[in-house]
């Protein structure tokens, strides 16, 4: 009976649009010591939510006292069909690049709604007493660990979860439930001797295989960091292709993505106009109301208006377009101190570069 229930849950998950689905037990994390060490090293930066109440994050039974199983799903968000699997377009020095996951609608909203439908299905099929909790990258659960245990993928050296057949462009979500279900075999695999992700990271954020110092990561610096970007990392925004929201470099160079990523057919994850390589100069002039309109229901909201403009100003530091210099000069009187400071720094970088060229 439990096997039939698990099969029905998986079939329903696929019908709801989830590309991967597996089941694991609700036992405590096997990586408790490693996670605590990562937190103690300060690698989480300002992401305090990752280091608070570790006992809840490391044991699913803290989320649901009688938890027995975890249903884990994965949803593909890769959309670059016209470029070929895993092949990024040559960056335009005057245009912005958004991480692939943020080019469409907010995955939290998309997946949470469907996971709730899946939970309703589970309750109806399992009968009286069945309960569950839904999580999509917002609750205290080690998603990649439970996904590996459920057979969805294995850990790459870039710390991403990699599916041997499909790569790593997946969102993860979970249902923690008190229903006992048969578990799947953990995923097996590895990177071998490949170090492409470590070699390609523009800020050295992957400090060792399987270890990420988030404080150095472009995704953290352009999204989670609310203050000024450290000067040592500012040039990386432009030098890596104007990645003004997030970063895909360690995924773009991964052989499993280069060979096996396939475009998603999910309408919600198709790029919206605002994320299709807009001109940096135009973005710097964006008002707060325009930001709200263009990124309503988008992951980009997390950076906030001032954070996104800070990132754009940083990316413009490498531009040789006179329009970029003019836009930065205009931004010196911006209402947000964070944006003004970054514009001043970028302007000085442009002027110093022009001076060097004039004296060569």
DSSP 223: I
**CA–CA gap between residue 39 and residue 33 (Å, rounded):** 10
Q: Which of 137, 184, 282, 321 is catalytic?
A: 137
Examine the residue annotation and report whether 137 is marked as an active-site residue of this protein.
yes
Alpha-carbon gap, residue 290 to 277, rounded angstroms: 17
In 3D, which of 245, 272, 277 has the Cα closest to residue 104? 272
Q: How far apart are CA 170 and CA 20, in angstroms?
A: 9
Residue 223 and residue 302 in contact, taking contact as beta carbons nearer than 8 Å: yes
CA distance 188 to 148: 8
Cα–Cα distance, 181 to 66 (Å, whole number): 13
Dist. CA 44–CA 47, nearest whole Å: 5
**Sign of the alpha-carbon torsion through 160, 186, 146, 31:** negative
Strand, coil or helix: 75: strand
The C-alpha atoms of residue 81 and residue 317 are separated, in whole angstroms, by: 31
Pairing relationship of beta strands 97-98 and 243-245 according to DSSP bridges: parallel
The closest of 230, 201, 207, 172 to 46, measured between CA atoms, is: 230
- Give how far Cα 108 sits from Cα of 7, 118, 142, 168, Å: 25, 15, 16, 18
Q: Are 132 and 177 in contact (CB under 8 A)?
A: yes
Q: What is the rounded distance in angstroms from the CA atom of residue 86 to the CA atom of residue 100?
A: 11
Among 277, 256, 65, smallest CA distance to 177 is for 65
Which residues belong to the active site? 137
């Amino acid at each position: 009976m439990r096997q039939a229930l698990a099969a029905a849950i998986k079939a329903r998950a696929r019908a709801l649009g989830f590309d991967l689905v597996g089941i694991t037990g609700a036992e405590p994390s096997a990586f408790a010591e490693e996670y605590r060490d990562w937190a103690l090293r300060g690698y989480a930066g300002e992401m305090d939510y990752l280091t608070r109440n570790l006992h809840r994050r490391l044991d699913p039974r803290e989320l649901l006292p009688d938890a027995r199983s975890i249903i884990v799903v994965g949803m593909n968000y890769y959309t670059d069909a016209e470029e070929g699997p895993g092949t990024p377009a040559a960056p335009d020095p005057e245009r912005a690049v958004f991480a692939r996951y943020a080019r469409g609608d907010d995955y939290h909203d998309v997946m949470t709604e469907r996971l709730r439908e899946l939970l309703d299905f589970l309750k109806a099929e399992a009968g009286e007493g069945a309960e569950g909790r839904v999580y999509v990258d917002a609750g205290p659960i080690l998603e990649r660990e439970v996904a590996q245990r459920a057979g969805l993928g294995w850990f790459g050296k870039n710390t991403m979860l990699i599916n041997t057949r499909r790569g790593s462009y997946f969102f993860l979500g979970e249902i923690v439930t008190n229903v006992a279900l048969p578990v799947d075999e953990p995923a097996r695999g590895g990177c071998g001797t490949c170090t492409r992700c470590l070699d390609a990271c523009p800020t050295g954020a992957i400090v060792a295989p399987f270890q990420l110092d988030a404080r150095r990561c472009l995704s953290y610096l352009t999204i989670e960091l609310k203050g000024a970007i450290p000067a040592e990392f500012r040039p990386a925004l432009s030098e890596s292709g104007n990645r003004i929201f997030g970063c895909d470099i360690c995924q773009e160079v991964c052989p499993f993505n280069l060979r096996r990523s396939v475009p998603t057919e999910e309408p919600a994850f198709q790029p919206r106009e605002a994320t299709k390589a807009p001109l940096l100069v135009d973005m710097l002039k964006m008002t707060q109301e325009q930001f709200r309109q263009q990124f309503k229901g988008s992951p980009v909201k997390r950076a906030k208006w001032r954070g996104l403009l800070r990132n754009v100003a940083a990316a413009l530091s490498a531009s040789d377009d006179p329009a970029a210099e003019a836009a930065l000069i205009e931004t010196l009187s911006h209402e947000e101190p964070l944006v003004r400071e970054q514009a001043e720094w970028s302007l000085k970088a442009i002027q110093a570069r022009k001076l060097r060229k004039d004296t060569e």
